[in-house]
Amino acid sequence: MELSSKKKLHALSLAEKIQVLELLDESKMSQSEVARRFQVSQPQISRICKNKEKLLADWCSGTANRERKRKRESKYSGIDEALLCWYHIARAKAWDVTGPMLLHKAKELADIMGQDFVPSIGWLVRWKRRNNVGFGARHVLAPRFPPEPPPPVPTSQAQPPLSLKDFSPEDVFGCAEVPLLYRAVPGTVGACGHVQVLLCANSRGTEKRRVLVSGLRAAPSCFFGVSSEALPASYHPDLGIPWSEWLVQFDRDMGRQGRQVALLLAARVVEGLAGPPRLHHIRLLPLSAASTTPSLPTSAVRAFKAHYRHRLLGKLAAVQSERAGTSLAEAGAGITVLDAVHMAAVAWAKVPPRLIVSSFIQEGLAPGKTPLSPDKASEMPPVPSGLSLEEFSRFVDLEGEEPVWLLCKEEGAECVCGHCSRNEL
């Protein structure tokens, strides 16, 4: 008599789980159909949906191992996080961090926390794997720039201003502050729900900074119970980009990598900085106030908005299919800032690097020869059903028609647009 063979469990990697979420968001496939495509059980797909926020946060962080199939949490999570923080500080200071040094520091942190913990080699290996710390040969980072700027020199002896030619294309970054009507629906002008989105990428499209979304309220109710670490994008509770804080964090990140980079900024942003922060690894290259050249290619910004609108329409269609009789405007009124944060992060990730590099060169924001014109149809999302190309194009450029966000008043006042649900902002 033959024994029945036990079915082998097929676990999906982090990258495959993100593909599952995209399939469910962008198509009308059911969880069972997606499960059959990936050869897994439907309950596994259901668990992926329940952990959507954590999975997207891991994916967008850039530090998680994207081929891992399970995320095993450490029993000593406090020590785990404290050691990782110390490790980043040590690398930023160009210390040559070794395994014995990490074990000694972990024991020291455990004693400070009052925990009975003796780190082992096996624990250290698992800690490295969890936090995506490389196992390869160590290398010392380039020394940091001096903390104090050099004394000013007379104008006649001043060094010539920096230009794009002083940096490699990988170290030239551009950023843009993009106004976004995050829950607008086709055919409406004056729809409320306005946020600012900060996008930043290098001229080779190989690095995209984490999206920053800035909104009106200090504590939108839709964020209740949601950890900021679990979000795939940063959220700032004010209608305005916190440029000084953002630049300081960018500078720290470049310092950890031992890099010196250039950042293209609009002149008005540089002029608006009250007491510009001391930046040791970033050199600001403000564009002329009279220049019409954007600090981030227009094509890249428009591609982001097109992907965002495409995902928004997909979400609105899903709401209408779930609730029969719901109009498009009613479905749009239910879109929250939290929804916008998730859709903005995925939309920015969808902008292909080849479009970014082509746009940087064509608009003169990076050195290099003008590349061949890319196939625009392959760079942009497909036109949603029910809309013509012209209608979708007008929907993508909705913010350019007029400053409609001014129609929505501050918190505590009534909205005059008739589309807002103030409790969900």
Q: Are 396 and 386 in contact (CB under 8 A)?
A: no
Instruction: Evaluate if residue 395 carries a pLDDT over 60.
Output: yes
Residue (of 227, 230, 226, 235) closest to 182 by Cα position: 235
Mean local confidence (pLDDT), 59-63: 56
Beta bridge partners of 265: 286
Amino acid 166: pLDDT: 79
Q: Are 344 and 233 in contact (CB under 8 A)?
A: yes
Kindly report which listed range (24-28, 68-72, 138-142, 242-246) carries the lowest average pLDDT score: 138-142
Residues 6+ apart with CB under 8 A from 416: 407, 408, 409
Give the Cβ contact number of residue 17 at 10 Å: 25
Kindly report which listed range (48-57, 252-261, 364-373, 399-408) carries the lowest average pLDDT score: 399-408
Assigned fold of 14-61: Arc Repressor Mutant, subunit A (1.10.10)
> Distance between CA atoms of 26 and 20, rounded to whole angstroms?
10
Q: Are 130 and 124 in contact (CB under 8 A)?
A: no
Which residue spans within 53-146 are E strands per DSSP?
A: none
Structure-block tokens of residue 142: 């380039």
CA angle 292–295–296, rounded 5-degree value: 115
> Distance between CA atoms of 310 and 386, rounded to whole angstroms?
12
> Distance between CA atoms of 65 and 229, rounded to whole angstroms?
17
Q: Which residue has the higher pLDDT, 324 or 129?
A: 324
SS3 state of residue 214: strand
Mean local confidence (pLDDT), 118-127: 85
Q: What is the pLDDT of residues 95-105, one digit of tens each?
A: 777 888 888 88
Q: What is the pLDDT of residues 399-409, one digit of tens each?
A: 875 444 333 33
Give the Cβ contact number of residue 285 at 10 Å: 21
Q: Which position has the token pair 């997606």?
A: 34
> Distance between CA atoms of 311 and 301, rounded to whole angstroms?
16
Angstrom distances, CA of residue 197 to CA of 185, 246, 275, 288, 347: 19, 13, 23, 22, 12
Amino acid 86: pLDDT: 81
Mean local confidence (pLDDT), 252-268: 89
> Distance between CA atoms of 192 and 417, rounded to whole angstroms?
6
14-61 shares its CATH topology with 77-130: yes
Domain ranges within the chain, ordered by starting residue: 14-61, 77-130, 169-424
78-92, 138-152, 408-422: range with highest mean pLDDT: 78-92
> Distance between CA atoms of 117 and 113, rounded to whole angstroms?
10
Give, as one character, the DSSP assignment of residue 208.
B
Amino acid 77: pLDDT: 73
Amino acid 179: pLDDT: 92
Kindly report which listed range (42-56, 146-160, 180-194) carries the lowest average pLDDT score: 146-160
Give the Cβ contact number of residue 289 at 10 Å: 10
Q: Are 190 and 404 in contact (CB under 8 A)?
A: yes
Instruction: Evaluate if residue 188 carries a pLDDT over 90.
Output: no
Residue 326 CA from chain centroid, whole number: 32
Amino acid 142: pLDDT: 42
> Distance between CA atoms of 309 and 344, rounded to whole angstroms?
10
Average pLDDT, the chain: 76
Assigned fold of 77-130: Arc Repressor Mutant, subunit A (1.10.10)
Amino acid 141: pLDDT: 41
Give residue 364's pLDDT band: very low, low, confident or very high (50, 70, 90): confident
Structure-block tokens of residue 269: 């942003």
Amino acid 219: pLDDT: 59
Give residue 8's pLDDT band: very low, low, confident or very high (50, 70, 90): low
Instruction: Evaluate if residue 162 carries a pLDDT over 60.
Output: no
- b/e for 310-319, b at 16 or more Cβ within 10 A? bbbbbbbbeb
Kindly report which listed range (74-83, 124-133, 145-154, 355-364) carries the lowest average pLDDT score: 145-154
Q: What is the pLDDT of residues 137-156, one digit of tens each?
A: 444 444 444 444 444 444 33
What type of residue is 334? G
Instruction: Evaluate if residue 343 carries a pLDDT over 90.
Output: yes
Structure-block tokens of residue 352: 């292909």
Report the first-to-last Cα separation within the chain, whole angstroms: 64
Give, as one character, the DSSP assignment of residue 182.
T
Q: Which residue has the higher pLDDT, 147 or 80?
A: 80
Amino acid 49: pLDDT: 86
For the chain, the C-alpha Rg in angstroms (whole number) is: 24
Q: Which residue has the higher pLDDT, 150 or 248?
A: 248
Amino acid 416: pLDDT: 36
Of all residues in the chain, the percent with pLDDT exceeding 90 is: 16
Give the Cβ contact number of residue 137 at 10 Å: 5
Instruction: Evaluate if residue 381 carries a pLDDT over 80.
Output: yes
Give, as one character, the DSSP assignment of residue 288.
P
Instruction: Evaluate if residue 229 carries a pLDDT over 80.
Output: no
Of all residues in the chain, the percent with pLDDT exceeding 70 is: 72
Give residue 370's pLDDT band: very low, low, confident or very high (50, 70, 90): low
Instruction: Evaluate if residue 201 carries a pLDDT over 90.
Output: yes
